[in-house]
Structure 1
Amino acid sequence: MTPERPVPAVPTATYRLQLQPEFPFAAAEAAVPYLAGLGVSHLHLSPVLEAVPGSTHGYDVVDHARVRDELGGEAGLRSLARTAREHGLGLVVDIVPNHMAASPRHNRALWEVLREGPEAPYARWFDLDWDAQGGQLLLPVLGRRLGEEIGQLKADGDVLRYHDHVFPLREGTEGLPLPQLLDAQWYRPVWWRLARTELNYRRFFSISELIGVRVEDPEVFTATHATLLRLLDEGVVDGLRVDHPDGLADPDAYLRRLHEATAGRWTVVEKILAADEQLPAVWPVAGTTGYDALRHVDGLFTDPAGAGELLGHYRRFTAPQDDRGGHWASTVRGAAYEVVTHELATEVDRLTRVASRLCAESPDPALRDHAPWALRTALRELLVRLDVYRPYASGDAAATVTEEAAAEARAAFTVPEEAHAVTVVRDLVLGRAGGGPAHSEFRARFAQTASALRAKSVEDTAFYRYVPLLSANEVGSDPGNPAVSPEDFHAYCARVQRDWPATGTVLSTHDTKRSADVRAAVSVLTQCPERWAGVLAEVTGAGGGVPDPHLVWAAWQTFFGLGRAEEERLQGALLKHVREAGLHTAWTEQDPAYEDAVAKYVAGGPCGAPGRLVSGFRDALAPHIRANVLGAALVHLAMPGVPDVYQGTEGEYRALVDPDNRRPFAPQEASSEKADLTRAALGLRRRRPEVFGEAATYAPLTAEGPAAAHCVAFVRSGEVLAAVTRLSLRLAEEGGWRDTSLTLPPGRWADVLAPEREFEGHTRVEDLFAGLPVALLERVGGR
């Protein structure tokens, strides 16, 4: 038996694997030698607990007590852990505390609640509102109204069947006629469209198939975390990634409890930070999963002036009206109004009911006499003005729900006297009014609703409506201000090294809209906006069959980012794009004629003869795409934090939004510039963890000369130097590096990719980048 090698407590780098029935534990185990050879220290696994059969992602958990059978069960996970440890690798596992699948036939806990009602032992597990809907839980599963579907509902012994859905019958109701039988249950199957306005259970965003779990209850926390905590205690698992903590009633308390239960194991949280937002300092975690790092790395390779010019071309090309793409802030605000009014109407109604009860029962006269409609309006107007995901108990809620936002919300009222409802709602959110359990419930639900609204309106709507630069439309990014200066990038890295040195960093994930390599290509367009506008005018000049200008702009940028793409892949991604945008068609209100026009345009445009012109344009820009791809990869792997490498991205990886980016993993054994660079950087991190770890240092290194702004360099702990080319097309147009130089710290420095190349002291940047547009150097010998 091969002896186990020690696994570091804090990863030096992780490698994300998307487990699914087509890629189970055994397949991951077979890939361990390859992954160990890359230089990572831990495998980062998607959720491993029992999920809905056939799930390709695992976030629809149905049983927290079991490791997923379709992946190989606990035996398969243990075998993977043993093999990984023999190769010096640990396991980090993704956990899902916020929700479970609302599938009674698979979710035993939910099944018991539907059968036994509010007195069921599992009733405390779920975030349910038994006071609404006459004490029945609405299950939005019917394809049409009940009157049209009642013939498809069949009582069968002690269960009720509807197509492939199965529900338990309440004891003693089995023999009732169907209408009376339905009325006698603790649940009510309804038309799926009622979920928007009538649902009485908390869900994940607006996805009714995922039901909220009350992990704030200590007993629920214990029950839902016992298996994973046991696997941690037994050394099978070494660290955790926490999915969507913003959905929880009290993320602060949850993370404290998790930290205590895991004895402080390395844990990162999927917290999406706004541009100026900081991770709560009191959270006992290593940091985020890394979307904040993604924004800074992508922004570094975006030309700010060119991004502004591209926006101008976009506005002229699309001629947007109102909030439909001309300005980022108005696009977000418009999307937020739509989402809070329609998709999250049931959540706002529940908040309104709680607020109305608090006001009616308050001994404070200032809270009395507010109509529910006024409170609902105040809630809506405040929610759409939040610039971050949510407030936290540990933070200053007034900094999130600001007085400026409140003043704007009051101005939205046509009757000034009714605008006092805004003050009432804000005081309730800030804890200045109210009290007791109902007030705690209100504050928690306000924060949870704010989080869902921000995610749905920004990530799943505005990102598909405002598309001047698709590379900037990623979770955590700021499409309204996509560029990041070298100075701001260095300042960010210094803060990370000081405050969160073991945080996660990413460039591609299972949730990114486009992989890092696709974004790196698209961002080159900010260096040649006039040329791109000319190419676009040429390929769209013939007219005919154009669905709408926003789609056309997005389609050609998507095609440019991918390069030559299969028609089916491109059509699938763009169909999702237009449904998410919700301007001409949507997931729930599909317009077949418009969607057919989109498919025909993709076939005859990007995937037709005009596509060859754009492919040729892309080929001409290949050296600059290469500089961006390699530059982003090296910066990510050398900057502060723990880099997470998404499956396949060690080599060339061009993927679009899921499901395109969740295909089963296959090792990339072939050598390439990016693969060689990735192996070299990961190997260096694994070999010299002290240079990159929690006690490491980060220092910018500034070039001198006419092209100094195009060289971004930094030194880690005085021992490793990373340098990359920034905005290489602009550099070429300005005459190249010329006499630009970089003065290296004292000592001799060897090129990690070509050790025979050494540098010392005053070094010409042109020599440093003689073979590649990036350089990774390691100090050799003494200082």
Structure 2
Amino acid sequence: MTEKQPDQTLDQGIDGLCRPERLPTSTYRLQLTPQFGFAQARAALEYIAALGVSEIYTSPYLQAREGSTHGYDVIDHNRINEELGGESAYEAFTDEIRRLGMGHVLDMVPNHMAIATNENTWWQDVLQNGESSIHADYFDIDWHPLKPGVQGRVLLPILGDMYGNVLERGELQLERQGGAFFIRYYEKLLPVAPKSVIPILEKTVETLAINSPEDDQYLDGQELQSIITALRNLPSRDERDPSRIEERNREKEVIRRRLDTLFEQSATIRSAVDRVVAEYNGRPGDPHSFDLLDCLLGEQSYRLSFWKVATEEINYRRFFDVNDLAALRMEDPRVFQATHAHILNLIAAGRITGLRLDHTDGLYAPRAYFQRLQLERCRQLHGGDDPAFMKRMQERLEEEQVPRIPRPLYLLVEKILEPGEHLPTRWAIHGTTGYDFLNAVGGLWVDRKAERSLSATYRRFTGVTESYEDIVYRSKKQIMRGSLASEIAVLAHALKRLAENNRRSQDYTLTSLTAVIIETIACFPVYRTYLEENGRREEHDDEYIEQAIEAAKLRNPGINTSIFNYLRDMLLLRFPDNVEDVQRQEQIRFALKFQQVTSPVMAKGVEDTTFYVYNRLVSLNEVGGDPGIFGTSPAEFHAGNLERLRIWPLSMTSTATHDTKRGEDMRARISVLSEMPADWRGLVTHWNRINRNAKREVQGQPVPSNNDEYLFYQTLLGAWPMEGFDGNSPDYESFVERIDAYMLKAVREAKRRTGWITPNEAYEQALQQFVQKVLKNPRGRFVQSMQTVVRRLASYGACNSLSQLLLKMVTPGVPDCYQGSELWDLNLVDPDNRRPADFERRRQLLQEIQAGLTDRRALARNLLERFEDGAIKLYVISTVLNFRREHPDLFLFGDYQPIRTGEHVLALERIHGSERIIAVVPRFALKLTEGEAAWPLGEVWGNTVLNTPVAGRYENLLTGEQLDSSDSHGLPMAEIFAHFPLALLRHQTV
């Protein structure tokens, strides 16, 4: 027997780490808030486990800003959020997860931190010490931006008015707390740079006039003078030498403690400095009295400004356009370690078994970040730093064959894939959070035959004639010229510096370079590309860049094509002749920064603008979707599932998340409109006529606009409760408030007649008056008409919902259930969809279901008859998830076989060894039944037969019925759907 080579031995050890420690079969997302913390979540765990869920998946719970309702505004990565219950409650929560045999997937945000709080010590340190802060490199700050007044400073757009107005109204106040000085702006406390305190202390010395050693305060005065000298000797705030930065950080704290002691022991000096502080704070009505404070503010490492200035001048990278969230430089190993040490410890302790990573397109180098996480987990599992092992692991991570990538830590990424785009296979992750599946499965219930008719109705009613693609193009440009203008300006100046290095491009003007950047990003077909510093890129990155450039040229024949070609060459790293290494690195940095900008522009321009403008059929307006594509064909759906099984079998399959624009069942109901285009045209015309008197004109135009009104009717149709409202329903007023809030948010997001930055109060008030007027009377003509239509469509929407639910749970991937969506999910966009779920009600319904399992057919029939309460959905979830948990390999790795069917059926088979199941669901039930039957059951199927791939006996797990296809190799659809509108058929082996 020959000895194994060292690499072979190492590879065998590494192969053992290629799968995660546990294989999740399903997840359940919990939204943790101060009102629903660890204790409340722990109380729901037994119920969730009884559903058949294998992994508890939570929103972020590292220490966030006070009152955070989502956890993405982290201020300390090394503490558990105290408002959720703190460390002890967290341990009890995770102990219970483990006791129940479940795993725990944590949502975390690697890309940014909250800075609009006094509690973020890293940011406060940056504000106090500028470039010499030990945390200066943690944040993505341009310390030498275009604007001269912000050189070496951070622009803080936090003021509610122009700086001078705020200052002279006395809203900015100098404040002393012990030996530290701050600028207070309402609840915000901004630290004062140590050296800028010198004039305050010198002025204090002058007022004291302590000169004689016999004076009681002489020694205290000498200490104050000594402190002033120490401050003068402090390294400056633009110091970059590491040893001097360390000295500054150490000595400033020593000085602060000396001031603490001095002020505490000397009432005379304390009173004198406080009088000086009061003098700095000026007197409203006397502008010159604020000169001292203005001068002090001019010496800080930050410049205060009106919040609207941010769109053009902000010099730190943000999360999208949110000024309160500053981006971290996660590519820096120090930042990675400082932000992940605690999380990695929790993973090592077994309290966390997987991570869901938020907004990874905002990272400078996503692939390297995923790789680093997996390496850290490998190091933990291997038991330390074995250089040979870690070197070989690094090499294996660089290999491109998917099955060979070591992925011991279960990682999911929030990644929006555009139609035709594929997840990079070199990423050391297990898949996405499922938006690709969400849109594919939802599109199955949109009838493509109705596209022309519904498009005509939309154009006729609203007057919107632009294509979806044109609206996206226009919206992205609007974002780049508005809320993200500063990011575009930074790119343009960087490109101008590159252009000036070569005689062939030095004449390109800043204006023309800015234009080609804007036009190219407006035409960018995906969220971003993934070029790396070493020049490596993903498979289709070059194609996306070329596509964007060519599309931009076609839209802009008046711009010199050579400038577009120049930008293309910069992005594709086609280096000019004889380029110096410094310029080469500058070009690479430009290309990497460019791709960090395309993602927020796409998100803001499409998800947060176009999706509220293009309202043809809003069930298609979902994160990760393309409303310009009218539905999904069965062939497209099956192809996506086969690809997921081949490459990403542990990717999440979702139908609702905390970020979806509409609840999963709301979308399913709205899609029924594609089965009744003529009726829909008549309804919107009728409603428009009824509500005409509720409109009023603002600036010569009716409110709401016809486009907003069209959205309003679809929203009501989708969100209306299954059980409807009677005349005295106590929930009706709350429902109207939710619709009112949603419509206000929708028109602001659309940015047509109003917006978040410049709200049109007259339009908004008129819109809210319209909503209140047409909905105020639950017995009015419009409300009664809406209720009648919803009553007619509710069962068809529910049929769609149950069908997409079953498909989610049997197709390749890990199905996720969003908090509370095991009953009907008719929620609107956040914050509406983040309201707490009534777990007690769900627990009681589940107990009722469990009590009836002895006769599944009778139970299923009963639940169908009372479908409005949502228990039927809970039943399907608990039945299939518990079966999944008992047969994990069948669902995670079993073969997938589409079954050919007609227009009104979709079926598929999963196979693993001797195990076989077939899922069968109806499509377009309203068309099938011609609106004459609530459910597509029994005789409506006529002689239609499902051709089963294998003959024999089958058990419908949802009804307990036994079906036999021994003779015909097929099962009559009338038998499959005799009592229930979907089926999960398990082949009975002999």
Match of 2:622 in 1: 474
Q: CA deviation at 1:653?
A: 1.9
Change (3 A) 1:759 1:516: farther
Match of 2:333 in 1: 218
Change (3 A) 1:526 1:756: closer
User: Match of 1:479, as an amino acid?
Assistant: P
Match of 1:9 in 2: 22
2:171 pairs with 1:152: yes
Q: CA deviation at 1:83?
A: 0.5
CA contact (8 A) 1:752 1:776 kept: yes
What's the CA shift string for 1:754-783, capped at 9, x where partnerless? 22434434211121112221111222333x
User: Match of 2:608, as an amino acid?
Assistant: D
2:459 pairs with 1:315: yes
User: Match of 1:481, as an amino acid?
Assistant: I
Match of 2:365 in 1: 250
Match of 2:750 in 1: 581
Identify which of 521, 534, 551 aligns with 1:383.
521
Deviates more, 1:438-447 or 1:186-195: 438-447
Match of 1:107 in 2: 120
Secondary structure of 1:605's counterpart equals helix
Q: CA deviation at 1:402?
A: 3.7
Secondary structure of 1:240's counterpart equals strand
Q: CA deviation at 1:353?
A: 1.8
Match of 2:154 in 1: 137
Identify which of 346, 354, 364 aligns with 2:486.
346
CA contact (8 A) 1:375 1:421 kept: yes
CA contact (8 A) 2:530 2:541 kept: no
Change (3 A) 1:38 1:556: same
Q: CA deviation at 1:408?
A: 4.1
CA contact (8 A) 1:397 1:429 kept: no
2:941 pairs with 1:737: yes
Match of 1:549 in 2: 706
Secondary structure of 2:25's counterpart equals coil
User: Match of 1:737, as an amino acid?
Assistant: W
CA contact (8 A) 1:555 1:606 kept: no
Q: CA deviation at 1:406?
A: 2.0
What's the CA shift string for 1:72-102, capped at 9, x where partnerless? 2232222111101111111100010111112
For 1:305 and 1:411, locate their aligned partners in 2 and report how far apart those are by CA, in whole Å. 31
Which of 1 and 2 has greater Rg?
2
User: Match of 2:594, as an amino acid?
Assistant: F
Match of 2:400 in 1: none
Secondary structure of 2:113's counterpart equals strand
For 1:420 and 1:89, locate their aligned partners in 2 and report how far apart those are by CA, in whole Å. 59
Change (3 A) 1:433 1:397: farther
For 2:86 and 2:543, locate their aligned partners in 1 and report how far apart those are by CA, in whole Å. 43
For 1:409 and 1:492, locate their aligned partners in 2 and report how far apart those are by CA, in whole Å. 30
Secondary structure of 2:619's counterpart equals helix
**What fraction of aligned residue pairs are identical, expressed as a percent?**
37
For 2:908 and 2:70, locate their aligned partners in 1 and report how far apart those are by CA, in whole Å. 37
Match of 1:395 in 2: 538
For 1:583 and 1:596, locate their aligned partners in 2 and report how far apart those are by CA, in whole Å. 15
Match of 2:766 in 1: 597
Q: How is 1:420-439 mapped onto 2 (pairs within 5 angstroms)?
A: 420-433=562-575, 435-439=583-587
User: Match of 1:505, as an amino acid?
Assistant: T
Q: CA deviation at 1:658?
A: 0.5
What's the CA shift string for 1:431-465, capped at 9, x where partnerless? 11265442232112101110010000000000000
Secondary structure of 1:698's counterpart equals strand
User: Match of 2:529, as an amino acid?
Assistant: P
For 1:405 and 1:277, locate their aligned partners in 2 and report how far apart those are by CA, in whole Å. 14
For 2:463 and 2:173, locate their aligned partners in 1 and report how far apart those are by CA, in whole Å. 54
Deviates more, 1:52-61 or 1:733-742: 733-742
User: Match of 1:742, as an amino acid?
Assistant: L
Deviates more, 1:144-153 or 1:424-433: 424-433
CA contact (8 A) 1:17 1:665 kept: no
User: Match of 2:324, as an amino acid?
Assistant: E
What's the CA shift string for 1:457-483, capped at 9, x where partnerless? 000000000001110000111100131
Match of 1:714 in 2: 908
What's the CA shift string for 1:279-337, capped at 9, x where partnerless? 0011111011000000111011111112332121011000125xxxx421111011011
Change (3 A) 1:725 1:656: same
Secondary structure of 1:139's counterpart equals strand
Secondary structure of 1:742's counterpart equals strand
Q: How is 1:24-423 mapped onto 2 (pairs within 5 angstroms)?
A: 24-132=37-145, 133-150=150-167, 151-157=170-176, 158-174=181-197, 175=200, 177-263=292-378, 264-320=408-464, 326-360=466-500, 362=501, 364-393=502-531, 394-396=537-539, 399-410=542-553, 418-423=560-565
Match of 1:487 in 2: 635
2:736 pairs with 1:539: no
Change (3 A) 1:682 1:199: same
For 1:141 and 1:508, locate their aligned partners in 2 and report how far apart those are by CA, in whole Å. 34
For 1:759 and 1:499, locate their aligned partners in 2 and report how far apart those are by CA, in whole Å. 35
Match of 2:33 in 1: 20
CA contact (8 A) 1:304 1:482 kept: yes
User: Match of 2:152, as an amino acid?
Assistant: G
TM-score (norm 2): 0.75
What's the CA shift string for 1:588-647, capped at 9, x where partnerless? 111122111211221222554202202201211233112101111111111110011101
User: Match of 2:712, as an amino acid?
Assistant: A
Q: CA deviation at 1:341?
A: 1.3
TM-score (norm 1): 0.95
For 2:675 and 2:543, locate their aligned partners in 1 and report how far apart those are by CA, in whole Å. 36
For 1:577 and 1:18, locate their aligned partners in 2 and report how far apart those are by CA, in whole Å. 23
Secondary structure of 1:584's counterpart equals coil
Q: CA deviation at 1:415?
A: 5.7
Change (3 A) 1:313 1:459: same
Secondary structure of 1:94's counterpart equals strand
Match of 2:676 in 1: 528
For 1:122 and 1:593, locate their aligned partners in 2 and report how far apart those are by CA, in whole Å. 45
2:787 pairs with 1:615: yes
CA contact (8 A) 2:458 2:464 kept: no
Match of 2:876 in 1: 677
Secondary structure of 1:754's counterpart equals coil
CA contact (8 A) 2:109 2:357 kept: yes
Secondary structure of 2:75's counterpart equals strand
User: Match of 1:627, as an amino acid?
Assistant: C
Secondary structure of 1:214's counterpart equals coil
For 2:317 and 2:52, locate their aligned partners in 1 and report how far apart those are by CA, in whole Å. 42
Change (3 A) 1:397 1:189: farther
For 1:368 and 1:411, locate their aligned partners in 2 and report how far apart those are by CA, in whole Å. 24
For 1:774 and 1:747, locate their aligned partners in 2 and report how far apart those are by CA, in whole Å. 20
For 2:964 and 2:324, locate their aligned partners in 1 and report how far apart those are by CA, in whole Å. 59
For 2:324 and 2:529, locate their aligned partners in 1 and report how far apart those are by CA, in whole Å. 26
Identify which of 889, 896, 918 aligns with 1:698.
896
